[in-house]
A and B are shown apart, each in its own frame.
Chain A
Amino acid sequence: DIQMTQSPSSLSASVGDRVTITCQASQGISKYLHWYQHKPGKAPKLLIYDASYLETGVPSRFSGSGSGTDFTFTISSLQPEDIATYYCQQNDNLVTFGGGTKVEIK
């Protein structure tokens, strides 16, 4: 099984800050890595697929990079509506989600 280690598990940042979340796979997964946003009581939302492709309609302040085992998700300028938990997910071998990163406003 492929394990996904996401860090940090939580962070607090100010509006306008640059926020970075990392995700490490236990083995190489090429670019089969995707990022989701999940707000309480809402359906999860796909933001980034195949490591770096922005899903349609997602603001350009969200971005992703990486390949192999190490991946990065960035919010270039944190907005109040970005408060949520973010998950990475691999589909190189079935599906595994990372543990999540809870993003809060300082």
Chain B
Amino acid sequence: EVQLVESGGGLVQPGGSLRLSCAASGFTFSSYSMNWVRQAPGKGLEWLSYISGSSSTIYYADSVKGRFTISRDNAKNSLYLQMNSLRDEDTAVYYCARDLQQMVMGYWGQGTLVTVSS
């Protein structure tokens, strides 16, 4: 059974940093590309970033480019999102998602809440 479990969320001050993790199990992690998607309170889904299985291809949404960094450790079956220079508008539930095919998200975690507030 595919399982994705996010962690690392919490309360952070504006301008601060946070690193999210996504622990994957139930599939050959290195064979699948992964994504981060978020949902701000009362808003819709927003795609943030994509990383291929080998980490050779990475994409970002304009809203986070230069501030967020996606990475993965295939030996640890883990996906990461390093978030720097956080803003109030980054407050959201952050989901990791495994691709069914490129950028079609077939499996999702339950999400981790990030709150940016002073």
Contacts from A to B (Cβ < 8 Å): 1, 34, 36, 38, 42-46, 49-50, 55, 85, 87, 89, 91, 94-100
Contact = CB atoms under 8 A, between A and B. Distances in A.
Contacts, number: 58
Contact of A94 (B44, B59, B100): B59
A44 B100 CA distance: 14
Interface stretch (B9-17, B67-75, B79-87, B103-111): B103-111
A44 B47 contact: no
A55 B2 CA distance: 15
Interface of B: 35, 37, 44-47, 50, 59, 61-62, 95, 97, 100-106, 108-111
Q: Is the interface of B mostly helix, strand, loop or mixed?
A: strand
A34 B45 CA distance: 13
Given A49-B100, A87-B44, A42 B110 contact: yes
Contact of A91 (B46, B102, B110): B102
A38 to B, nearest CB: 7
B104 A44 contact: no
Given A1-B62, A46-B106, 8 more contacts: A36-B105, A43-B108, A43-B109, A43-B111, A46-B104, A94-B103, A97-B47, A98-B44
Contact of A43 (B50, B59, B95): B95
Given A43-B111, A46-B100, A95-B35, A87 B106 contact: no
